[in-house]
Structure 1
Amino acid sequence: MKEEEFTIVKASGEKVRFSIPKLKKSLRRSGAEEHTVSQIIDAVRDELYQGISTKEIYNRAFALLKKSKSIYASKYKLKKAIYEFGPTGFPFERFVAAILQYAGYQVKVGQILQGKCVSHEVDVVAEKDEEHIIIECKFHSDRKNKCDVKVPLYIHSRYSDIIANYENGNNCPTDGWVVTNTQFTKDAIAYGTCSGLQLLSWDFPKNNGLKDRIDRLGLYPITVSTLLTNSEKQFLLGRDIVLCRQLLKDTFYLDHLGVSEERKSNIISEIKLLCSETSVNEQH
């Protein structure tokens, strides 16, 4: 049986045809060399069966990447790493703020802004030059949950109320954003685009979604590390260390965790590689 004839099951329960090109693309995003990608494709192809889950395929590919080079596995698990921010959405808000901060914005998290009618708690406020952005972050710990049209409808009404309060004042917000770690439905995208909201999800806008920005800027979440334990990651998140880059500046947290010097050196080396290498080799 040809590989494209195998049916695989997504996390949502949806059944789709297995796609070698899609798997190859995701493996290449990890930065793995072409021969490594080919070896993993061959290994996964040999283990296919009808009804295999995307989770099983991911776990197999992840294990093979980690065996080849841990940094490949770290970059490959980017999407899963963001889900590990849970269960609350606060680390995700800090993560979005950190991405904007590294892009040159002055950011604040959890601000109360007065609208014309009522006050509103805004997840992130970002300013740079003439831009004054207010951002609502929608974090989902379950990848099956998408942001439907009710989300931009609600956010647009809040944004409009805040704007109305600034009609005759300075520093009026110039943009309203909705950022999610999952996806928007077609209606959500249609309404957001029509109403003038900026939507940012895992893969939207095309070629400039969350995953693209993270890869392009090398702003990987601390949860991508394959060397830190889950409890260590939660310790760091609890101290607002959401980016690998931040841990490089505050390595003393590893001492607080009682990490040995040898392991500390390995963790720092892994993170330095993550922050310095591009996610996709130039030949790709």
Structure 2
Amino acid sequence: MAETMEQLVITKASGEHVLFSVGKLKLSLRKSGASDEVIQEVLRLLEPKLYEGIPTKKIYKHAFAILKKLSKSTAARYSLKQGVMQLGPSGFPFEKFVAELLNVQGYTTEIGVFIDGQCVRHEIDVVASKDGKRYMIECKYHNLHHNKSDVKIPMYIQSRFKDVEKVWPSEHEFEIRFHQGWVVTNTRFTEDAIRYASCANLHLVGWDFPHKGGIKDMVDSFALYPLTCLTTLSHTEKQHLLDMRVVLCKELLHNEALLHKAGVRDKRIHSVLDEVENLCGS
């Protein structure tokens, strides 16, 4: 089975044609918590659905649908990237999500802070503080996997950072208002963006950047899954919760009232709470 699948040519989102990697699929399933038995069953049921040139997006959809029938909480973890993509487009859910990832690591955070710079007034997505230092954080949300943050984004953030970095309480003295600028995105950065940020002392956080410090690693480490990962909620119910400024699965733990308010029917609430408990209850 694996040998036949490995010979299949598939189409990436960029349009590039590559050989299908069973190893990569197994790894992503294993990282989502799937057992060896579940992984083998996913591969067995997936193989008949594959064809020459199949887009990677369709492979993901088929694998997710199979996994959802076998283990809802594993399917929710597997859909993390897609779940984060569904946090838009208003910006606030992603900003709250980023702030929560920092809070659990000992930062104190504020969202949507207006600050006067030397030249103009700025709205800062997230202001984070820890160990006596303050960080100005810009959140760049993308709703497509292949949209990368290019060099223009860190250059723009650096110019804003320089405008608000220091405040002059008197003519001859200044105080440091921010110690570093950050850019956080749910996708990836181009090589030029990474190179520029390193030179300018900007901190970048992407989907899998830096190594062992990207969004995916942080979510898995702290079980801070966005509610958009849940397989037991409809798109409309998720949107109702996001409109109420509820972003994380953990906010739904033991909280039937929130689910009622989002329009979830009584007969489904138990299954939603079960999935929430399995996903982030520990």
- Give TM-score, length-normalised by structure 2: 0.92
Are 1:44 and 2:49 counterparts? no
Report the equivalent of 2:59: 57
Residue from 12, 22, 25 that aligns with 1:23: 25
Deviation at 1:10, TM superposition (A): 1.5
Q: Which residue of 2 aligns with 1:100?
A: 102
CA deviation digits over 1:121-174, x for unaligned, max 9?
110111123131110000111222110000001101111221133694556212
Residue identity opposite 2:202 in structure 1:
L
Q: Contact conserved, 1:183 with 1:202, CA < 8 A, in 2? A: yes
Contact 1:147-1:184 at 8 Å conserved across structures: yes
Matched with 2:226 is 221
Q: Give the conservation status (yes or no) of the 8 Å contact 1:32–1:72.
A: yes
Aligned counterpart, 1:261: 266
Q: Post-superposition shift, 1:117? A: 2.2
- CA spacing shift, 1:164–1:12, aligned 2, 3 Å: same
Taking only the aligned residue pairs, the percentage that are identical comes to 45
- The structure-2 alpha-carbon separation of the partners of 1:166 and 1:82, relative to structure 1 and needing over 3 Å to count, comes to farther
Query: CA separation in 2, counterparts of 1:153 and 1:177?
Result: 11
- Alignment partners' CA distance in 2, 1:159 and 1:166: 15
Per-residue deviation at 1:267? 1.0
List alignment gaps of at least 5 residues for structure 2.
Answer: none
Q: Which residue of 2 is the match for residue 194 of structure 1?
A: 199
Distance 1:42 1:252, change over 3 A: same
Question: Which aligned pairs between 1:242-253 and structure 2 lie closer than 5 A?
Answer: 242-248=247-253, 250-253=255-258
Q: Deviations over 1:6-47 (max 9, x none)?
A: 221122222222111111111111101111112222333444
SS, match of residue 52 in structure 1: coil
AA aligned to 2:197 is: G
> Match for residue 282 of structure 1?
none
SS of the residue corresponding to residue 88 of structure 2 reads coil
- Over the aligned positions, Cα root-mean-square deviation in angstroms equals 1.9
Deviation of 1:57 (Å): 0.9
1:272 aligns with 2:277: yes
| Larger CA deviation: 88-97 vs 43-52 | 43-52
Conserved 8 A contact 2:166-2:175: no
Listed as ranges, the matches of 1:16-165 within 5 Å are 16-165=18-167
CA distance in 1, matches of 2:174, 2:232: 50
Deviation at 1:256, TM superposition (A): 1.8
Please, what TM-score do these two structures have when normalized by structure 1? 0.91
- Do the aligned partners of 2:134 and 2:180 also contact (CA within 8 Å) in 1? yes
2:263 & 2:166 partners in 1: Cα distance?
Answer: 52
Do structure 1's residue 4 and structure 2's residue 39 form an aligned pair? Answer: no
Contact 1:166–1:172 (CA under 8 A) maintained in structure 2: no
* Unaligned runs of at least 5 residues, structure 1: 278-284
Give the Cα separation in 2 of the matches to 1:4 and 1:175. 45
Distance 2:203 2:248 in 1: 23
Report 1 or 2 for greater relative contact order, CA contacts < 8 Å, sequence distance ≥ 6: 1
Residue 276 and residue 255 in structure 1: after superposition, are their counterparts in 2 closer, same or farther (change >3 A)? Answer: closer
Q: Match for 2:95: what amino acid?
A: E
CA distance in 2, matches of 1:248, 1:166: 46
- Asked whether the 8 Å contact 1:11–1:53 carries over to 2, the reply is yes
Query: Aligned AA for 2:206?
Result: S
Cα deviation code 1:253-281 (max 9, x no counterpart): 2122343333212211211111135xxxx
CA contact 1:148–1:185 (8 Å) conserved in 2: yes
User: What is the letter of the counterpart of residue 90 of structure 1?
Assistant: F
Q: Give CA-to-partner distance per residue, 1:229-273, whole Å, 9 cap, x none.
A: 111111111111100111226541212234333321221121111
The 2-side partners of 1:208 and 1:31 are apart by: 20
Whether contact under 8 Å (2:7, 2:19) holds in the other structure is yes
SS in 2 for 1:44: helix
Question: What SS is found at the alignment partner of 2:163?
Answer: helix
Equivalent residues, number: 277
